[in-house]
Homo-oligomer: A and B are copies of this chain.
């Protein structure tokens, strides 16, 4: 596990504390990948509804996957200081955690570009979780989305980074 040294400064504020979009004009075009994950936890009845029985083959996960992929492409319109960029791959996957009545959502974003794609990966996970919430909220309005974090980053000047205990 590699852990890049982190300088404790906020690149997104200038010296006056004003919002600052980082200038990446001079950064090299390199292949970059980021992965992220998140969870949505629900009651057991609702978890059963989407994972077993008649709705097992329903569109719940297909809809959430598409929503996550589309959201990754919209990242720079949602997060004000993100750069527009051209993702060459977005992947969203779901794993059932039956012990805890929760769905684990993972995402991978990739491109050849001048800036990292972890915000895109986090956005994909967040919106996929929100879509699962929307599709299940009639059965359980008390669901909780949690554990949204970056799992790994590769490429770019700062090298690879990987979360602890991911």
A residues adjacent to B (C-beta < 8 A): 4, 6-13, 17-25, 27, 31, 38, 45-46, 49-50, 54-55, 57-63, 65-67, 69-71, 73-74, 76-91, 110-114, 118-119, 122-123, 126-127, 129-131, 133-150, 153, 161, 163-164
Contacts and interface: CB of A to CB of B under 8 A. Distances in A.
Contacts of A87: 83-84
**Chain copies in the assembled complex:** 6
Contacts of A84: 73, 85-87
Nearest to A54: B17
A144 B166 CA distance: 12
A46 B8 contact: yes
A119 to B, nearest CB: 5
Contact of A49 (B4, B9, B73): B9
